[in-house]
Amino acid sequence: MAEDEETIEDQNRKPKKLNSVLMILSWCTFGLGVYLLGWDGLV
As a whole-number percent, the residues of the chain with pLDDT over 70 amount to 63
- pLDDT range class, residue 30, cuts 50, 70, 90: very high
Calpha distance 17→20 (Å, rounded): 5
Where along the chain do its domains lie? 10-41
pLDDT of residue 40: 72
Tell me the pLDDT tens digit for each residue of 16-29: 888 899 999 999 99
Spatial separation of the C-alpha atoms in residues 43 and 38, rounded to whole Å? 9
Q: Is the pLDDT of residue 32 over 70?
A: yes
- pLDDT value of residue 19: 87
Q: Whole-structure pTM over 0.75, yes or no? A: no
DSSP for the chain, please give it. -HHHHHHHHHHHHHHHHHHHHHHHHHHHHHHHHHHHH-HHHH-
